[in-house]
Amino acid sequence: MAKPKSKKNNKITPFFGSGVLADSSRRGDGRKIDVLGVFTIIYAWSIPCTRSFNAVLTIFNLPKGKTSITISISKKGSQKLRPLGLLNVFPEESGDIIVLYAVKNKFEEEGFHEVTFSFRDYPGDIKLPLEVEKREWPEFTKAELDFVKQLGDASPSFRVNIHCLGCKHVYIFEEQLNPDILLKGGIYRFPENSIFICKECKKEMDLKDIRGQLRSSLKDTIAQRMGKKP
């Protein structure tokens, strides 16, 4: 028969279970968690690049009351951690929980990274791997450009809202390859060098990465439509 544990050893020590990074996550009915777009790699069209995503973690044996968790990111193998935030959880009862946390980070270089969650007052952490891979800039062939031009008003395009970090002014940019299309009022084409100066506060914004994402999606869309052309 096992000996009963002494009161000295009855202190609850939490520990991390599993964790994933995803495009988005939310709590559903009961304990259900809806997770969309689990990934371990980020594609970038310019470095540095900024990305926002969610982390979903399971924590076991969590004590009742407040538990603090620090979040940081580092290049894999590096001892240099960049703090991302502090998460406080307040379970009403001891037990197991699922934690959702929104991450936003500016990646300064390519390669393998780790997003680390650590208990502030207990031993233990969990490292979620993440690779940043720079892609080639999407270029369009003459055939693709000619195809888009002959589509006229049906030319495919993508838009994005950009918030100036200096004054929070919102701009709408559109990647439209058809030079004959006139954009609606208040919508901007991307500058050729992808650098835009805010008209309100004069802050410089590097839009190359987000523009690269749109051009990549646009190239896929054009390829699909060209394939369906009779």
Does residue 7 register a pLDDT over 80? no
- pLDDT confidence tier of residue 230, bands split at 50, 70 and 90: very low
The token pair at 73 is 């990111």
The token pair at 206 is 């590097």
Q: Domain 12-134: give its CATH superfamily.
A: Immunoglobulins (2.60.40.10)
- First CA to last CA across the chain, in angstroms? 79
State the pairing for strand pair 67-75/157-163.
unpaired
- pLDDT confidence tier of residue 8, bands split at 50, 70 and 90: very low
**pLDDT for position 28:** 83
Residue ranges per structural domain of the chain: 12-134, 142-228
The whole model's pTM is what? 0.82
